């Protein structure tokens, strides 16, 4: 058993199974709950009925609910859903009272569902769900871009603190190495070289002799990989020093020695806000060949409005104002399943850059720690002469 499973939690076991419609009738509610209780008792010991009645006294057709309570404080809720002829059973227990040994394994859950299905002459339609571990001391559940649930093999949190800007966590996992988590979202793992190579289009873009600007990028991975590409200069501007000091220690496989010192011969890390920095570059006529928008993820929303979208628009427009003709802006976007969001992303880019002749390219890469395929954009500031002036 991994360290992770030894961790204390409240376990919720969710069982569901289809039944013949007659079992959802009010009349058979008691029979049903008694049969279910008998099956549950094989794993949890005897139960006592605390409550049984229709879900809505006014509308008994909405279903029946039974509340059972057992030894060691285990509780079970049995619920019928007449519209779908489905019964759900939810069992909750406190691992501490079970002295750290869960009363059931995943195989037991599977067996229980099979027993229940058999008792009600139904066939089990979907796979069992492993128990949900609630009230954990640290995060192990994270989500995809479309809010699907993923349970990670977090062994421990090696860093956990709140900076002025965000909640910064680094989790140790066997599958992905250490994983940087910002405000509850998986940001980058040591196993995610694929992410960095996708955003920088390694092998497709020649950085030799170029001036490069990274907005954000506090994990240091992009800077570390770009350093290998013979650029003339790389400037990185990151607002959150805590991210860098945590990654320097705990995300070493991704950032190498990049974050050990901020000032170097051909690259520099500036701690600060990228907006005033770009405004200053613009005023001073400082131009870059490539700008990376390696900033906060934009959460999925139905419209491109709100603070983060505005921030995206502002940084994109400023980036273009300090980008040489023929230069490129690179950024990450979202998961491939977030189709509507990606369309919004593209139209926001086009609308924001109305005054510039641009070429927009989308690419995808499977990012191990995200457990999904991610979309990246390359926005090239086309050479006006080639496209005709658009301003």
**Distance, CA of 104 to CA of 260 (rounded, Å):** 47
354 lies in the binding site for a second copy (CB under 8 A): no
362 within 8 A of 375, measured Cβ to Cβ:
yes
CB-CB neighbours of 125 under 10 Å: 10
152 lies in the binding site for a second copy (CB under 8 A): yes
CB of 151 to a second copy, least distance (A): 4
305 lies in the binding site for a second copy (CB under 8 A): no
Q: Which of residues 13-32 bind a second copy (CB under 8 A)?
A: 14, 16-18
294 counts as catalytic:
yes
Please report how the helices 29-44 and 106-119 are oriented relative to each other, as an axis angle in degrees rounded to 10: 150
Segment contacting a second copy (CB under 8 A): 9-17, 210-218, 252-260, 283-291? 9-17
Choice from 28, 144, 317, 363 touching a second copy (CB under 8 A): 144
**Which residue lies nearer to a second copy by CB, 117 or 379?**
117
CB of 152 to a second copy, least distance (A): 7
Binding mask 122-141 for a second copy (x = CB under 8 A): ---xxxxxx-x-xxxxxxxx
59 lies in the binding site for a second copy (CB under 8 A): yes
**Which pair of structure tokens corresponds to residue 391?**
């301003």
Q: Which of residues 30-49 bind a second copy (CB under 8 A)?
A: 48
Using the Cα atoms of residue 201, residue 207, residue 210 and residue 213 in order, give the sign of their dihedral.
Answer: positive
Q: Which of 137, 240, 294, 297 is catalytic?
A: 294
**Which pair of structure tokens corresponds to residue 41?**
């008792």
Cβ burial 30-49 (10 Å sphere, 16+ → b, else e)? eebbebbbebbeebbeebee
Q: What is the DSSP string of 27-56?
A: GGHHHHHHHHHHHHHHHH--EEEEEEEESS
**Distance, CA of 71 to CA of 175 (rounded, Å):** 38
**Which residue lies nearer to a second copy by CB, 109 or 281?**
109
212 within 8 A of 205, measured Cβ to Cβ:
no
Choice from 96, 118, 282, 350 touching a second copy (CB under 8 A): 96
**Distance, CA of 77 to CA of 89 (rounded, Å):** 6
63 lies in the binding site for a second copy (CB under 8 A): yes
**Which residue lies nearer to a second copy by CB, 110 or 348?**
110
118 lies in the binding site for a second copy (CB under 8 A): no
For residue 148, report the phi and psi dihedrals to the nearest 5 degrees: -85, 155
**Which residue lies nearer to a second copy by CB, 125 or 343?**
125
Pairing label, strands 288-294, 233-238: unpaired
Report CA dihedral (183, 189, 190, 191) to the nearest 10 degrees. 180
Segment contacting a second copy (CB under 8 A): 25-33, 80-88, 220-228, 231-239? 80-88
Choice from 25, 41, 43, 79 touching a second copy (CB under 8 A): 79
**Which pair of structure tokens corresponds to residue 296?**
């906060």
Binding mask 227-266 for a second copy (x = CB under 8 A): ----------------------------------------
CB of 83 to a second copy, least distance (A): 5
373 lies in the binding site for a second copy (CB under 8 A): yes
Q: Which of residues 166-185 bind a second copy (CB under 8 A)?
A: 174-175, 184
Q: Which residues are catalytic?
A: 294
């Amino acid at each position: 058993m991994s360290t992770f499973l030894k961790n204390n939690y409240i376990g919720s076991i969710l069982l569901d199974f289809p039944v013949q419609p007659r079992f959802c009738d009010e009349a058979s509610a008691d029979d049903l709950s008694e049969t279910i209780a008998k099956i549950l008792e094989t794993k949890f010991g005897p139960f006592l009925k605390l409550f049984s009645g229709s879900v809505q006294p006014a509308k008994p057709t909405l279903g029946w609910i039974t509340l059972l309570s057992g030894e060691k404080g285990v509780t079970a809720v049995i619920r019928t859903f007449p519209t779908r002829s489905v019964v759900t059973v939810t069992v909750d227990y406190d691992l501490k009272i079970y002295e750290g040994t869960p009363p059931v394994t995943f195989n037991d859950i599977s067996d229980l569902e099979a027993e229940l299905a058999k008792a009600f002459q139904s066939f089990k339609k979907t796979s069992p769900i492993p128990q949900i571990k609630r009230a954990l001391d640290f995060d192990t559940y994270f989500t995809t871009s479309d809010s699907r649930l993923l349970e990670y093999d977090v062994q421990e949190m090696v860093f956990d603190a709140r900076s002025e800007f965000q909640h910064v966590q680094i989790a140790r996992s066997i599958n992905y190495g250490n994983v940087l988590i910002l405000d509850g979202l998986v940001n980058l793992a040591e196993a995610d070289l694929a992410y960095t190579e996708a955003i920088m289009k390694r092998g497709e873009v020649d950085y030799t002799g170029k001036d490069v600007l990274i907005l954000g990028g506090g994990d240091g991975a992009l800077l570390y990989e770009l350093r290998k590409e013979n650029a003339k200069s790389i400037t990185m501007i990151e607002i959150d020093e805590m991210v860098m000091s945590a990654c320097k220690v705990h995300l070493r496989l991704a950032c190498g020695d990049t974050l050990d010192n901020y000032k170097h011969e051909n690259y520099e890390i500036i701690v600060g806000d990228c907006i005033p920095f770009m405004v200053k570059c613009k005023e001073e006529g400082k131009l870059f060949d490539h700008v990376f928008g390696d900033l906060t993820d934009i959460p999925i929303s139905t419209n491109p409005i709100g603070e983060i979208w505005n921030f995206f628009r502002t940084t994109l427009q400023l980036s273009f104002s300090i980008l040489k003709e023929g230069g490129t802006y690179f950024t990450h976007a979202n998961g491939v399943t977030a189709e509507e969001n990606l369309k919004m992303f593209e139209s926001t880019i086009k609308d924001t850059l109305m005054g510039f002749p641009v070429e927009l390219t989308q690419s995808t890469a499977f990012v191990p720690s995200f457990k999904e395929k991610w979309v990246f954009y390359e926005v090239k500031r086309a050479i006006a002469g080639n496209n005709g002036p658009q301003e």
